[in-house]
Amino acid sequence: MSIKGKRVAFLGAGNMGEALIKGLTQTGLVPAKTISASDARADRLADIAKQYGIQHVKDNVALVRSADVVILAVKPQIMGAILKEIASVVDGSKLLISIAAGVATRKLREHLGKPARLIRVMPNTPALVLEGVTAIARAEGLEPGDLEAAQELFGAVGKVVVLDEGAMDAVTGLSGSGPAYVAIVIESLADGGVKMGLDRATAMTLATQTVLGSARLILETGAHPGQLKDMVSSPGGTTIAGLSALEEGGVRSTFINAVERATQRSKELGAN
Protein backbone atom coordinates (compact mmCIF):
# COMPACT_ATOMS: atom_id res chain seq x y z
CA MET A 1 0.00 0.00 0.00
CA SER A 2 1.26 3.48 -0.86
CA ILE A 3 0.07 6.64 0.84
CA LYS A 4 -0.23 8.25 -2.59
CA GLY A 5 -3.83 8.54 -3.76
CA LYS A 6 -5.19 7.98 -0.25
CA ARG A 7 -7.44 10.33 1.68
CA VAL A 8 -5.62 11.28 4.88
CA ALA A 9 -7.43 12.66 7.92
CA PHE A 10 -5.93 14.24 11.04
CA LEU A 11 -7.81 13.92 14.30
CA GLY A 12 -6.07 16.85 15.95
CA ALA A 13 -4.21 19.72 14.29
CA GLY A 14 -1.71 20.68 16.98
CA ASN A 15 2.02 21.17 16.43
CA MET A 16 2.69 17.62 15.32
CA GLY A 17 -0.42 17.42 13.18
CA GLU A 18 0.62 20.65 11.46
CA ALA A 19 4.16 19.35 10.95
CA LEU A 20 2.86 16.29 9.14
CA ILE A 21 0.38 18.29 7.08
CA LYS A 22 3.18 20.65 6.06
CA GLY A 23 5.45 17.78 5.10
CA LEU A 24 2.83 15.98 3.05
CA THR A 25 1.79 19.10 1.17
CA GLN A 26 5.29 20.52 0.65
CA THR A 27 6.69 17.29 -0.74
CA GLY A 28 3.58 16.66 -2.85
CA LEU A 29 3.24 13.17 -1.40
CA VAL A 30 -0.44 13.79 -0.63
CA PRO A 31 -2.34 16.64 -2.37
CA ALA A 32 -3.85 19.19 0.00
CA LYS A 33 -7.32 18.55 -1.43
CA THR A 34 -7.23 14.96 -0.12
CA ILE A 35 -6.16 15.97 3.41
CA SER A 36 -8.71 16.86 6.08
CA ALA A 37 -8.45 17.70 9.77
CA SER A 38 -10.47 18.32 12.89
CA ASP A 39 -9.52 20.04 16.13
CA ALA A 40 -11.24 21.17 19.29
CA ARG A 41 -9.96 24.72 18.67
CA ALA A 42 -12.00 26.11 15.80
CA ASP A 43 -9.73 29.12 15.24
CA ARG A 44 -6.63 26.93 15.10
CA LEU A 45 -8.31 24.56 12.65
CA ALA A 46 -9.40 27.42 10.39
CA ASP A 47 -5.85 28.82 10.33
CA ILE A 48 -4.32 25.44 9.42
CA ALA A 49 -6.90 24.87 6.69
CA LYS A 50 -6.26 28.29 5.18
CA GLN A 51 -2.48 28.05 5.37
CA TYR A 52 -2.15 24.62 3.76
CA GLY A 53 -5.30 24.46 1.64
CA ILE A 54 -6.71 21.38 3.36
CA GLN A 55 -10.31 20.60 4.32
CA HIS A 56 -11.44 21.26 7.88
CA VAL A 57 -14.20 19.19 9.43
CA LYS A 58 -15.87 19.84 12.78
CA ASP A 59 -17.39 16.37 13.18
CA ASN A 60 -14.84 13.65 14.07
CA VAL A 61 -17.13 10.85 12.92
CA ALA A 62 -17.65 12.47 9.51
CA LEU A 63 -13.91 13.05 9.24
CA VAL A 64 -13.04 9.40 9.83
CA ARG A 65 -15.88 8.08 7.66
CA SER A 66 -14.46 9.81 4.58
CA ALA A 67 -10.78 8.84 5.14
CA ASP A 68 -8.51 5.97 4.12
CA VAL A 69 -5.75 6.79 6.61
CA VAL A 70 -6.50 8.43 9.97
CA ILE A 71 -3.73 10.08 12.02
CA LEU A 72 -4.70 10.06 15.70
CA ALA A 73 -2.97 13.27 16.82
CA VAL A 74 -4.80 14.06 20.06
CA LYS A 75 -3.42 14.13 23.61
CA PRO A 76 -3.00 10.76 25.36
CA GLN A 77 -5.41 11.86 28.08
CA ILE A 78 -8.35 12.15 25.66
CA MET A 79 -7.45 9.36 23.26
CA GLY A 80 -9.85 6.88 24.86
CA ALA A 81 -12.84 9.18 24.51
CA ILE A 82 -11.95 10.00 20.89
CA LEU A 83 -11.63 6.34 19.92
CA LYS A 84 -14.97 5.51 21.49
CA GLU A 85 -16.50 8.40 19.54
CA ILE A 86 -15.26 7.22 16.14
CA ALA A 87 -15.50 3.45 16.69
CA SER A 88 -18.78 3.12 14.76
CA VAL A 89 -17.13 4.23 11.49
CA VAL A 90 -13.83 2.35 11.87
CA ASP A 91 -13.62 -0.78 9.73
CA GLY A 92 -11.03 -2.86 7.91
CA SER A 93 -10.75 -0.38 5.06
CA LYS A 94 -9.08 2.25 7.27
CA LEU A 95 -5.53 2.43 8.57
CA LEU A 96 -5.23 4.18 11.95
CA ILE A 97 -1.89 5.70 13.00
CA SER A 98 -1.49 6.97 16.57
CA ILE A 99 1.14 9.52 17.59
CA ALA A 100 -0.01 9.67 21.24
CA ALA A 101 2.92 9.36 23.65
CA GLY A 102 2.83 6.33 25.92
CA VAL A 103 -0.42 4.78 24.68
CA ALA A 104 0.19 1.17 23.62
CA THR A 105 -1.61 -0.41 20.67
CA ARG A 106 -3.22 -2.84 23.12
CA LYS A 107 -4.76 0.07 25.00
CA LEU A 108 -5.85 1.75 21.76
CA ARG A 109 -7.64 -1.42 20.65
CA GLU A 110 -9.35 -1.69 24.04
CA HIS A 111 -10.70 1.85 23.72
CA LEU A 112 -11.82 1.18 20.16
CA GLY A 113 -13.56 -2.02 21.17
CA LYS A 114 -12.97 -3.80 17.87
CA PRO A 115 -10.16 -5.13 15.66
CA ALA A 116 -8.44 -2.50 13.54
CA ARG A 117 -5.44 -1.87 11.33
CA LEU A 118 -3.53 0.20 13.84
CA ILE A 119 0.06 1.45 14.02
CA ARG A 120 1.71 3.34 16.86
CA VAL A 121 4.41 5.88 15.98
CA MET A 122 6.49 8.49 17.82
CA PRO A 123 7.52 11.51 15.71
CA ASN A 124 9.11 14.72 16.96
CA THR A 125 8.64 18.44 16.35
CA PRO A 126 11.58 19.06 13.95
CA ALA A 127 9.19 17.52 11.45
CA LEU A 128 7.97 21.12 11.12
CA VAL A 129 11.13 21.84 9.11
CA LEU A 130 11.23 18.35 7.53
CA GLU A 131 14.08 17.28 9.85
CA GLY A 132 12.13 15.06 12.22
CA VAL A 133 12.75 11.48 13.23
CA THR A 134 9.90 9.02 13.68
CA ALA A 135 9.90 5.61 15.31
CA ILE A 136 7.27 3.18 14.02
CA ALA A 137 6.27 0.19 16.12
CA ARG A 138 5.73 -3.17 14.45
CA ALA A 139 2.18 -4.37 15.07
CA GLU A 140 -0.15 -7.29 14.48
CA GLY A 141 -3.38 -7.11 12.51
CA LEU A 142 -1.97 -5.09 9.62
CA GLU A 143 -2.42 -5.71 5.91
CA PRO A 144 0.58 -6.12 3.60
CA GLY A 145 1.99 -2.69 2.85
CA ASP A 146 0.55 -0.89 5.89
CA LEU A 147 3.92 -0.56 7.61
CA GLU A 148 5.48 0.68 4.37
CA ALA A 149 2.71 3.26 4.00
CA ALA A 150 3.48 4.60 7.48
CA GLN A 151 7.18 4.75 6.60
CA GLU A 152 6.37 6.63 3.42
CA LEU A 153 4.12 9.11 5.23
CA PHE A 154 6.55 9.95 8.03
CA GLY A 155 9.51 9.83 5.66
CA ALA A 156 8.06 13.01 4.17
CA VAL A 157 9.09 14.90 7.32
CA GLY A 158 12.44 13.31 8.17
CA LYS A 159 14.07 10.00 9.01
CA VAL A 160 12.20 6.84 10.05
CA VAL A 161 13.19 3.85 12.18
CA VAL A 162 11.10 0.70 12.74
CA LEU A 163 11.26 -0.89 16.19
CA ASP A 164 9.43 -3.32 18.44
CA GLU A 165 6.76 -1.62 20.51
CA GLY A 166 8.60 -2.33 23.75
CA ALA A 167 11.17 0.31 22.75
CA MET A 168 8.64 3.10 22.18
CA ASP A 169 8.71 4.59 25.69
CA ALA A 170 12.49 4.99 25.41
CA VAL A 171 12.01 6.59 21.99
CA THR A 172 9.56 9.03 23.58
CA GLY A 173 12.08 9.89 26.29
CA LEU A 174 14.91 10.41 23.79
CA SER A 175 13.77 11.76 20.43
CA GLY A 176 10.18 12.66 21.33
CA SER A 177 11.23 14.89 24.21
CA GLY A 178 14.75 15.52 22.90
CA PRO A 179 14.05 18.75 20.98
CA ALA A 180 13.31 20.43 24.32
CA TYR A 181 16.65 19.23 25.71
CA VAL A 182 18.51 20.58 22.69
CA ALA A 183 16.63 23.89 22.95
CA ILE A 184 17.93 24.23 26.51
CA VAL A 185 21.48 23.56 25.27
CA ILE A 186 21.17 26.27 22.59
CA GLU A 187 19.65 28.75 25.01
CA SER A 188 22.35 28.08 27.60
CA LEU A 189 25.19 28.43 25.07
CA ALA A 190 23.73 31.74 23.92
CA ASP A 191 23.39 32.91 27.53
CA GLY A 192 27.06 32.11 28.03
CA GLY A 193 27.94 34.18 25.00
CA VAL A 194 25.90 37.10 26.32
CA LYS A 195 27.62 36.79 29.70
CA MET A 196 30.95 37.07 27.92
CA GLY A 197 29.92 40.22 26.07
CA LEU A 198 28.22 39.11 22.85
CA ASP A 199 24.93 40.69 21.84
CA ARG A 200 21.91 38.37 22.10
CA ALA A 201 21.26 38.01 18.36
CA THR A 202 24.86 37.14 17.57
CA ALA A 203 25.10 34.69 20.47
CA MET A 204 21.92 32.94 19.37
CA THR A 205 23.13 32.65 15.77
CA LEU A 206 26.48 31.21 16.90
CA ALA A 207 24.85 28.75 19.32
CA THR A 208 22.16 27.54 16.92
CA GLN A 209 24.47 27.06 13.95
CA THR A 210 27.08 25.35 16.13
CA VAL A 211 24.52 22.74 17.25
CA LEU A 212 23.15 22.31 13.74
CA GLY A 213 26.58 22.02 12.14
CA SER A 214 27.89 19.60 14.75
CA ALA A 215 24.87 17.33 14.32
CA ARG A 216 25.23 17.39 10.54
CA LEU A 217 28.96 16.65 10.78
CA ILE A 218 28.30 13.56 12.89
CA LEU A 219 25.44 12.40 10.65
CA GLU A 220 27.30 12.85 7.38
CA THR A 221 30.69 11.51 8.46
CA GLY A 222 29.41 8.72 10.68
CA ALA A 223 31.97 9.79 13.26
CA HIS A 224 31.44 8.98 16.91
CA PRO A 225 30.64 12.10 18.98
CA GLY A 226 33.80 11.44 20.96
CA GLN A 227 35.84 11.84 17.78
CA LEU A 228 34.32 15.28 17.17
CA LYS A 229 35.06 16.23 20.78
CA ASP A 230 38.68 15.14 20.42
CA MET A 231 39.06 17.01 17.11
CA VAL A 232 38.26 20.27 18.87
CA SER A 233 40.16 19.65 22.12
CA SER A 234 43.78 20.82 22.01
CA PRO A 235 46.09 20.04 24.96
CA GLY A 236 45.74 22.77 27.54
CA GLY A 237 43.35 24.68 25.27
CA THR A 238 40.05 26.47 25.58
CA THR A 239 37.78 23.54 24.68
CA ILE A 240 39.15 21.15 27.28
CA ALA A 241 38.72 23.88 29.88
CA GLY A 242 35.06 24.24 28.86
CA LEU A 243 34.57 20.47 28.85
CA SER A 244 35.95 20.30 32.38
CA ALA A 245 33.25 22.73 33.49
CA LEU A 246 30.56 20.59 31.82
CA GLU A 247 31.84 17.48 33.59
CA GLU A 248 31.87 19.32 36.91
CA GLY A 249 28.19 20.12 36.31
CA GLY A 250 27.35 16.48 35.59
CA VAL A 251 26.19 17.17 32.04
CA ARG A 252 26.30 13.53 30.94
CA SER A 253 24.39 12.12 33.90
CA THR A 254 21.87 14.97 33.68
CA PHE A 255 21.00 14.17 30.07
CA ILE A 256 20.88 10.44 30.80
CA ASN A 257 18.56 11.10 33.74
CA ALA A 258 16.35 13.33 31.58
CA VAL A 259 15.83 10.54 29.06
CA GLU A 260 15.19 8.05 31.85
CA ARG A 261 12.65 10.25 33.61
CA ALA A 262 10.80 11.09 30.39
CA THR A 263 10.71 7.38 29.54
CA GLN A 264 9.20 6.61 32.93
CA ARG A 265 6.59 9.33 32.42
CA SER A 266 5.70 7.84 29.05
CA LYS A 267 5.09 4.51 30.76
CA GLU A 268 2.91 6.21 33.38
CA LEU A 269 0.80 7.87 30.69
CA GLY A 270 0.31 4.50 29.00
CA ALA A 271 -0.81 2.89 32.25
CA ASN A 272 -3.65 5.39 32.80
- pLDDT confidence of residue 64: 95
CATH class of domain segment(s) 8-168: alpha beta
- pLDDT confidence of residue 272: 65
Nearest to 178 by CA among 129, 122, 227: 122
Mean pLDDT of the region 15-29: 87
Distance from C-alpha of 227 to C-alpha of 100, rounded to nearest angstrom: 36
- pLDDT confidence of residue 1: 67
Distance from C-alpha of 3 to C-alpha of 208, rounded to nearest angstrom: 34
Instruction: Write out pLDDT tens, residues 72-113.
Output: 999 888 999 999 999 999 998 999 999 988 888 888 999 999
271 pLDDT higher than 80 = no
Instruction: Write out pLDDT tens, residues 195-253.
Output: 999 999 999 999 999 999 999 999 999 999 999 999 999 999 999 999 999 999 999 99
- Ranges of each domain in the chain: 8-168, 178-271
Phi, psi for residue 200 in degrees, rounded to 5: -60, -45
Instruction: Write out pLDDT tens, residues 32-63.
Output: 999 999 998 999 999 999 999 999 998 999 99
270 pLDDT higher than 80 = no
Instruction: Write out pLDDT tens, residues 150-203.
Output: 999 999 889 999 999 999 999 999 999 999 999 999 999 999 999 999 999 999
Pick the CATH number of 178-271 from 1.10.260.40, 1.10.3730.10, 3.40.718.10, 1.20.272.10: 1.10.3730.10
Instruction: Write out pLDDT tens, residues 114-149.
Output: 889 999 999 998 988 889 999 999 888 888 889 999
